[in-house]
Amino acid sequence: MRQAFDLNLSTMDRCLMLLHGPYACGKTHLQGDMLRWAQQRAYGLKESGEVAFLNIKGEDGYASLAAVGLGKVGETVDSVDSYFEAMADYRAKNLVGLAVDSLTAFYSLMLTKHVGAPRYPDPKQDGERAKMLWGQISMGMKDAVQTSRVAAPWVLWVAPYDRSEDPVSGGKGQTPDLPGKLAYGCAGWFDFVGYLTAQTLGPGRVQRKVSFAPTGAVLTRQRIAHAITDDIPIPDDHGGWEAIYNALQAGMPAKKKELV
């Protein structure tokens, strides 16, 4: 099938993003902020406005969304098969926003699907199949993330971070908590990969920010015309995703005037 598309884009109307960072830095709350933003934006555009929060069994950290006011839009999946069932359902509903928590928990489901338990393939236990299993797991992860791309125009995954070794340079940096080459290679599955941090400044004061700036110390990625180099401050309550969205739009090329 052939499908034409316009290369002269001046606004961003969809993206697939991953944010990683320490536990308790506000990743899940930011997902809720994105979903509410997508709902409100859709109503303004006279779209359906449906959103979904997909909790991967084992993560189960959605209590922080209680104050966001999203209602009954969440569900939990406990297998790779049920994940793909959910994606098919979301696509049929024409969602305007989807949040998946988390990439690391989903990796455990992928291990269970191919290995039979949440453990890494091992030549001692799996014999000659071990190498093949690693390939199936890697391709399965990529396929799962790419499937979420068509489930909604705005899709936000999150993951806890870890310190990993770059398989090419040998240097070490902060990455999503995935093993081996996937820790760095997962960036290729997303349009944007950002790093969320939170710093306590005093009683009741927390400074959160997201960085997409290219650096060897932290895994980031951005598919955009003009690079985002400044950190994006994230408010405590609401407006964090809007700040990210505005930064994305600012990175798009200015609309060219029609030639006469």
pLDDT at position 174 is: 96
In a domain, 206, yes or no: yes
Which DSSP category does 17 fall into? Answer: E
Residue 175 in any domain: the answer is yes
Q: Which two tokens stand for residue 93?
A: 């509903």
How far, in Å, CA of 57 to CA of 37, rounded? 25
**Average pLDDT for 83-100:** 97
Q: How many degrees, rounded to 5, is the angle at CA 222 between CA 218 and CA 1?
A: 135
Whether 115 shows a pLDDT value over 50: the answer reads yes
Question: Which residue in this structure is represented by tokens 């990439």?
Answer: 103
Position with higher pLDDT, 1 vs 155: 155
CB–CB of 184/174 below 8 Å? Answer: no
The amino acid that residue 244 corresponds to is I
Is the pLDDT assigned to residue 5 strictly greater than 90?
Answer: no
In a domain? residue 7: no
d(CA 108, CA 177): 11
User: Tokens at residue 163, please?
Assistant: 């310190």
pLDDT, residue 66, reads: 81
Whether the pLDDT of residue 259 is over 50: the answer is no
Q: Are 176 and 104 in contact (CB under 8 A)?
A: yes
Q: Which residues contact 52 (CB under 8 A, 6 or more apart)?
A: 35, 73, 74, 75, 86, 90, 93, 95, 97, 98, 99, 152
Pull the structure tokens for residue 80.
């790779």
Structural tokens at position 23: 């536990």
Q: Is the pLDDT of residue 255 over 80?
A: no
In a domain, 255, yes or no: no
What is the average per-residue pLDDT within 93-98? Answer: 95
Q: Find which of 65-74, 90-99, 167-176, 199-208 is predicted with most confidence, using mean pLDDT.
A: 90-99
Distance, in Å, from the CA atom of 174 to the CA atom of 198, rounded to the nearest integer, reads: 15
Lowest model confidence (mean pLDDT) among 39-48, 117-126, 187-196? 39-48
Element (H, E) at 80: helix 80-93
CATH classification of the domain holding 157: 3.40.50
- In this predicted structure, the answer to whether residue 11 has a pLDDT above a threshold of 80 is yes
- pLDDT over 90 (residue 193): yes
Q: Which domain, by its residues, includes 204?
A: 15-250
How large is the average pLDDT for residues 33-62?
88
Judge if the upstream peptide bond of residue 164 is cis by omega within 30 degrees of 0.
no
**Is residue 256's pLDDT more than 70?**
no
Q: Is residue 3 part of a domain?
A: no
Please give the pLDDT value at position 15: 95
Which residue has tokens 């536990």? 23
Of 68 and 88, the one with more pLDDT: 88
Query: Measured between alpha carbons, how far is 28 from 198 in angstroms, rounded to an integer?
Result: 13
Question: Does pLDDT of 260 surpass 50?
Answer: no
CB 68 within 8 Å of CB 36: yes
Residue 97 and residue 54 in contact, taking contact as beta carbons nearer than 8 Å: no
Query: Would 10 be classed as within a structural domain?
Result: no
Q: To the nearest whole percent, how much of the chain has pLDDT over 70?
A: 96
Q: For the residues 229-251, what does the mean pLDDT come to?
A: 94
Of the listed ranges 91-105, 156-170, 186-200, the least confidently predicted one is: 156-170
Q: What does the alpha-carbon distance between residue 154 and residue 45 come to, in Å, rounded to a whole number?
A: 15
pLDDT of residue 167: 83
Task: Please give the tally of structural domains in the chain.
Answer: 1
Residue 152 to residues 93, 124, 202, 215: CA-CA distances in angstroms? 9, 42, 38, 29
Given this model, what pLDDT does residue 47 score?
66
**51 in any annotated domain:** yes
Q: Does residue 237 form part of some domain?
A: yes
Q: Which has more confidence, 201 or 98?
A: 98
Query: Which one has a higher pLDDT value, 159 or 260?
Result: 159
